[in-house]
Amino acid sequence: MILRHAFIPLDNERLAHLCGSMDEHLRDIEAALDVSITRRNESFRVEGAKPHAERAVALLQSMYDRAKRPIPAETFQLALAEASRPGAGPAKGEADAEGDELVLRTRRSDLAGRTPNQHLYLRNILSHDITLGIGPAGTGKTFLAVACAVDALERSTVQRIILTRPAVEAGERLGFLPGDLAQKVDPYLRPLYDALYDLMGLERVTKAFEKGTIEVAPLAFMRGRTLNHAFVILDEAQNTTPEQMKMFLTRIGFGSKCVVTGDVSQIDLPRGTDSGLIDAERVLRRVRGIATTHFNATDVVRHPLVARIVEAYDATRSEPT
């Protein structure tokens, strides 16, 4: 199918921002949506399967509308990821269907779930004391959990945020790490720091650490504690053992919420060691107050290539050997 589209009124500056340097944005749209795009001035010709061509035209118009300034790479890639999903269009999850849009208080005023599973994940976090988020990289498991923690802190429904993850290297031995405890665990907790900086800003995060409002700790240091009035996040939980997972989940006290995230396709435990996340999903399946959200490649909101990488690996694992 061939669709023709012209931007009226013509704004050459917007057009340049839309197309990107050397038309790189157009080439990215072609690759993501499997279409062919040619243009002459403000007139575009999009060729491809009907649903793909229609998505491409809608995406072009949407990007043109916001192209008064150069389009940030993150904004463009997120829009491209949304347009690439089956049944694309603005995501309509449970929250939308019930007319109960979730608004999180963070520095990112536009923060919201972008896929049905992300909407379900947010609703599960808000309505359950313990939530498991399981799925591949780039699906927003950790980022949305941190956003909910920041939101709870802003609303004073918790008194502090506690972030933890197992200190397990991703397939390589790093050896002895110099420095104090904070410096030793910093490499493992860096993704959580990054999310906090994005959602709160560097200055506020620094002050929160100084006041003890935000705390980071390796999983081993959770033993013996009772975590009251806290929002607790266990990241990379696929690298816990069943014993560690049980120890962690039984730390939860009154007025607390807990989110456990992990990707069971990237387990770095020694061969033959069971994953605590897989074990917890099985054992806790029917326990009231605990919800599980599963993500897949259609929920990836990073570069569209990430979703294709996830799909390729999933397809390889499902092939008979």
**Tens digits of residue pLDDT in 188-229:** 677 788 889 989 999 999 999 999 999 988 888 888 899 999
Q: How sure is the predictor about 103, in pLDDT bands with cuts at 50, 70 and 90?
A: low
Q: What is the pLDDT of residue 195?
A: 87
**Domain ranges for the chain:** 2-72, 94-318
Q: What is the pLDDT of residue 167?
A: 73
Omega cis (within 30) before 86: no
Q: What is the pLDDT of residue 166?
A: 86
> What CATH superfamily is the domain 94-318?
P-loop containing nucleotide triphosphate hydrolases (3.40.50.300)
Kindly indicate whether the domain formed by 2-72 is annotated with CATH number 3.40.50.300.
Answer: no
- Higher-pLDDT residue of 264 and 138 is 264
| Weakest mean pLDDT among 51-65, 99-113, 257-271, 279-293 | 99-113
What's the whole-number mean pLDDT along residues 102-115? 71
**Whole-prediction pTM:** 0.70
What is the C-alpha to C-alpha distance for residues 115 and 120, in angstroms, rounded to an integer? 9
